[in-house]
Amino acid sequence: MDVLSSRIVLRPGDLDRSRRFYRDLLGLAIYREFGPPEDPGLVFYLGQGLLEVSGHAAGPPGRSVMIWIQVCGALLGRSG
């Protein structure tokens, strides 16, 4: 499988607080901003990868972190 790109996606309970933490406290550089100007999602450079902080957690803690992988030439399916 050829991985074209990947990122870690965070859906925090407090989006503004999380944006400030990664941008202002850790000083991660912003790769891109997207969404509504009053509540944008941010994608940060994270070494060789990317960290997306966007949206809001829909459930309890622990369900707000995802790994997103884009691959080339793979046919993925689910049975059952």
Where do the domains of the chain lie, and which CATH numbers do they carry? 2-57 (3.10.180.10)
In this structure, what token pair is assigned to residue 16? 């503004």
Neighbours of 13 (CB within 10 A): 13
Tens-digit pLDDT profile for the chain (80 aa)?
677 777 888 888 888 999 999 999 989 999 999 999 888 999 999 878 899 999 887 766 656 666 766 677 655 554 44
pTM of the complete model = 0.72
